[in-house]
Amino acid sequence: MELTPFRCLRPAPRLVGRQVSAPLDVFDRDRAFGLVAANPLSFLAIDWPDTLYPLEAHVDLTEAYAKARDLLEWRRERGVLVEDDEPSLYVYTMEKGGHRQTAVVGCLSVESFLDGTVRRHESTLEEKEDARAAHIDALGAQTGPVFLTFGDSDDVSRAVADVQGGEPLYRFTADGVAQTVWRVPAGGKGRALAEAFSGVGAAYVADGHHRAASAVRVALARRAADPSLPADAPCNRVLVAMFPAGQLKVLSYHRMVGGVGEAEREGLAAAVEAAGFSASPADGPVAPDEKGAFGMFDGACWWLLRAPEPEGDDPVAALDVSALQERVLGPVLSVADPRRDPRLTYVAGTVGPEALEAAAREAGDAVAFTVCPTAIDELMAVADAGELMPPKSTWFTPKPFCGLFVRRV
């Protein structure tokens, strides 16, 4: 695998903590608008330029993206953002709640996303892909890295440790995540770091499927418009953050289903048992910690569920989220399409079972399920088989921040 350096457009060190932003998918609309109003320097203003308008306004995306492009350029001209004068790789450490993970940030070719070197495990929504591609094209920039993972490598670990012995470029905390960045110019340690990745055979999209697909789409569109586009054109590479799989923390995506009648809720445990699960009353909220175990809140009390052993060797069918969908959510609660059914809500694993219970009680007609996190090995097995996971199978935390590494295309 060829990981290459790039010229980074990045925050001025004195302003880094005020500018960087967690990725878009951790914000709802109201919170995003509130953050930009409170801190106009937040990179959310560029990554989600709707926030530059009144909350109730109907926003024309073409106009909004042009406004974001102008803001990006304004910040560069005034030194709010600075651009490195030579290509570099970056070592990027994130720490939160005693968990620590370190990536190498650089670029991979568009071809690596097309030929299976970089493997995905989720499908994308065309509407979101359209919007993200238009954003990249309008700004002429990739504003955050695709979150990739790879099998642990001693060579990479040694090269990273060598870099971390030096003075960092940044050391700051934002949104409760302590972050440290080392810049590694292309020669010397940068060459050793890049060479360490030559032994990595495959990478996997942990988070950022839409960001990846959109970057690839922009490159292919520009090639089609200009067949003479050189192979080393900036659009032909994708900004990535490469994290070793052994360092990642994966949380669950829990499920809540609304519109469930009182009689259905009262008979839910029996219906789940008829579907092949075991169901035992629990003393309180259930946070499952082993494969095949689930918590279920039926609107009145909690149950500990256990799924039957999966049959065959299909890596998708073996997932806990697949068993829950195929045996319970679909046939028992009539959630036939987990991507589009408005009754189904996905709740990130950062929310505990107590809060999930409170949300279900507040809804009045909802039931909830807690799920054990999907293992990294399961994600890789699905991607290696060329298959896709059910929606919202994983929640990675922390995720690379936006606005810390920006790459012009």
Which carries the bigger pLDDT value, residue 188 or residue 303? Answer: 303
Q: Which residues contact 43 (CB under 8 A, 6 or more apart)?
A: 19, 20, 21, 143, 402, 403
* pLDDT score of 340: 86
* pLDDT score of 151: 96
- Domain residue ranges in the chain: 8-249+397-408, 253-372
Contact criterion met (CB below 8 Å) for 378 and 394: no
3-state DSSP assignment of residue 319: coil
Give percent above pLDDT 70 in the chain. 100
Least confident of 23-37, 203-217, 290-304: 23-37
Q: What is the pLDDT of residues 115-148, one digit of tens each?
A: 999 999 988 878 889 999 999 999 999 999 999 9
* pLDDT score of 285: 97
Average pLDDT over residues 351-357: 94
Which carries the bigger pLDDT value, residue 26 or residue 178? Answer: 178
Q: What is the pLDDT of residues 193-241, one digit of tens each?
A: 999 999 999 999 999 999 999 999 999 999 999 999 999 999 999 999 9
Contact criterion met (CB below 8 Å) for 15 and 81: no
55 pLDDT band (50/70/90 cuts)?
A: confident
Average pLDDT, the chain: 95
Q: What is the pLDDT of residues 78-95, one digit of tens each?
A: 999 999 999 999 999 999
Q: What is the pLDDT of residues 157-195, one digit of tens each?
A: 999 999 999 999 999 999 999 999 999 998 889 999 999
Report the alpha-carbon distance of residue 127 to residue 103 in Å, rounded: 30
CA dihedral 16, 4, 223, 147 (to 10 degrees): -50
Q: How far is CA 72 from CA 181, 265, 403, in A?
A: 22, 52, 10
Q: Are strands 203-207 and 118-119 parallel, antiparallel or unpaired?
A: parallel
Angle, CA 365 vertex, CA 360 and CA 366 arms, to 5°: 40
Kindly report the pTM of this predicted structure: 0.92
Q: Burial, 393: exposed, middle or buried (Cβ in 10 Å; 0-12, 13-18, 19+)?
A: buried
Rounded to the nearest 5°, which phi and psi values hold at 89?
Answer: -100, 165
Average pLDDT over residues 391-407: 93
